[in-house]
């Protein structure tokens, strides 16, 4: 039997990292939206990048990764572009960048995994969520960070978005303020959001 994209991601997920337990869920969420455009904020060594590239390949989707540091070799997917920039600075140029590069103007899968700080995550929500397509999903990593005290930065920014409080040490699935939220507490926490209804 030939190896599928999911098999490839399953193999990635066997290698221990700060995100490995979520790679299959990230792949499944990305593939489920049948994306035309995927955007990743925070690339580093490319664990999530290689996973999202496998989902992008299935649909021939364009895929943009953004990192303030150089991470331009994280993927060899032909429709992958790496942008070395602060993600908020890039958000301000994003419509122009898409038009210049003949890319779709709306994002179907947005993956956020940068500083994990409250103010920065709030800014990412403010500047990037307006680019989502109606069917889009947004994935946040590090909603349940224990390794260092980020003062609940990521989950607090999500709480602000949906105007409610969560206990991120649990798995949950809830709808608030027109957002459906699926939360996984393991492996530093992962939240998957999409517009309800």
Secondary structure class of 104 (helix, strand, coil): coil
User: Which among 182, 23, 37, 26 is positioned nearest to 105, based on CA atoms?
Assistant: 37
Q: In angstroms, what is the minimal distance from the CB of 175 to ligand SAM? A: 27
Taking the least distance from each CB to ligand SAM, the nearer of 66 and 132 is 66
User: Least Å distance between CB 163 and ligand SAM?
Assistant: 25
Q: Which is nearer to ligand SAM, 123 or 135 (CB)?
A: 123
Give the pairing type, strands 107-112 and 37-41: parallel
The SS3 of residue 57 is: helix
Q: Using CB under 6 A as the criterion, which residues of the chain lie in contact with ligand SAM when the complex forms?
A: 19, 41-48, 66-69, 86-87, 113-115, 120
Please say which residue, 136 or 154, places its beta carbon nearer to ligand SAM.
154
Task: Using the minimum distance from each CB to ligand SAM, give the nearer residue, 51 or 133.
Answer: 51
Taking CA 73 as the corner, what is the angle to CA 77 and CA 21, rounded to the nearest 5 degrees? 75
**Least Å from the CB of residue 87 to ligand SAM:** 4
Hey, what are 150's tokens? 């980020």
């Amino acid at each position: 039997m030939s190896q599928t994209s999911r098999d490839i991601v399953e193999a990635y997920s066997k290698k221990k990292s700060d995100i490995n337990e979520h790679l299959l869920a990230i792949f499944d969420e990305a593939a489920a939206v049948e994306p035309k455009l995927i955007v990743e904020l925070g690339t580093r060594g490319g664990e999530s990048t290689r996973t999202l590239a496998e989902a992008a390949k299935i649909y021939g989707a364009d895929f943009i990764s953004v990192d303030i540091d150089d991470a331009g070799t994280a993927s060899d997917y032909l429709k992958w572009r790496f942008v070395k920039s602060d993600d908020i600075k890039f958000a301000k140029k994003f419509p122009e960048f898409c038009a210049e590069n003949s890319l779709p103007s709306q994002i179907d899968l947005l993956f956020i995994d940068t500083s994990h700080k409250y103010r920065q995550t709030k800014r990412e929500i403010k500047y990037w969520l307006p680019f989502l397509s109606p069917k889009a999903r947004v994935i946040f990593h590090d909603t349940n960070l224990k390794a260092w005290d980020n003062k609940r930065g990521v989950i607090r920014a999500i709480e602000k978005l949906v105007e409610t409080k969560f206990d991120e040490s649990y798995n949950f699935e809830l709808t608030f303020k027109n957002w459906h939220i699926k939360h996984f507490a393991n492996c530093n926490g992962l939240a998957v959001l999409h517009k309800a209804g």
